[in-house]
Amino acid sequence: MEKERWHSRIAAREIYRYMGMKEQDADEALQRRVEEQLARLLAVCRVRSFYRLFPLRIKENRRQETASPNEGTAPLLELGPMTIASRGLARNLRGCDQAALFGVTLGLEADRLIYRLGQTAVGEALITDACAAAAIEAVCDELCETLRREAAKAGRKIRPRFSPGFGDFTLAYQPAIFNTLELSKRIGVTLTAGGMMTPSKSVTAVVGLYKESAGKPHAPVEENITTGGLRTDESSV
């Protein structure tokens, strides 16, 4: 993942949306502050990502034990070593026979910058936090574009990404995702007892892959770790 690509995906309108306003309502002074804090954030980000592709089966729920059993009869998704009960995720992955699990992060320095600003300049901290929220979404979008290109080589297409916390795909599945991907080792992201990720500007998600047409070959199971074209140590540039 090249930093120029995900940098270019950061939309100003998304930053202002996270700030709770519309881009057209920002005056020139605020626009300059946003540009300055975005540049400051991007200078310290240490983007890392990791994904793996797994075979996928969706079947009727017969109340098998899962990481977080849903009440009722939500479909069961057998995704590699994981078993997930979720109607929402099953709808999203309908027709898919493979899925990618991924984790991405902006790194600890993004959190540290926001914290330092919060001690002395709360307004700038809020702006930087909005920039970081838009930035991690841009990183996710770029990784999904990478998955789309790789899937196309094998005659496949992808579904929109779906993260724990959406609908009935609960955060209770986060530990299983972390264990499956070894995210602490791969990209330096840890999970608190309360299910929160550290660094905070981190995302996990599932992306389904389906055959574009009958007779096309299956994409191979693969994994990839990237650093977003940036250094991965904890020091600032």
- Is the pLDDT higher at 154 or at 5? 154
Name the average pLDDT for the chain: 86
- Using the predicted structure, report yes or no on whether residue 91 has a pLDDT greater than 60: yes
All residues at 6 or more sequence positions from 8 whose CB lies less than 8 Å from its CB, including other chains:
none
Q: Which helix (H) or strand (E) holds 165?
A: none
Mean pLDDT of 129-144: 96
Confidence class for position 22, pLDDT limits 50, 70, 90: very high
Apex CA 165: angle with CA 159 and CA 169, to 5°? 65
- Rounded to the nearest 10°, the torsion over CA 140, 145, 149, 154 is 50
Please give the Cα distance from 1 to 136 (Å, whole number).
13
- Using the predicted structure, report yes or no on whether residue 116 has a pLDDT greater than 60: yes
- Using the predicted structure, report yes or no on whether residue 234 has a pLDDT greater than 50: no
Contact yes or no for 171/165 (Cβ under 8 A): yes
Q: For the stretch 62-80, what's the b/e string if a residue is b when 16 or more beta carbons lie within 10 angstroms of its beta carbon?
A: eeeebebebeeebbbbebb
Backbone angles phi, psi at 33, to 5 degrees: -65, -40
pLDDT tens for each residue of 210-232 = 997 634 444 444 445 444 433 33
- pTM for the full model? 0.84
pLDDT for 195 equals 82
pLDDT for 230 equals 33
Mean pLDDT of 20-37: 96
Handedness of CA 226, 156, 174, 7 (dihedral sign): positive
pLDDT tens for each residue of 33-79 = 999 999 999 999 999 999 999 999 998 766 555 455 444 578 999 99
Mean pLDDT of 86-97: 94
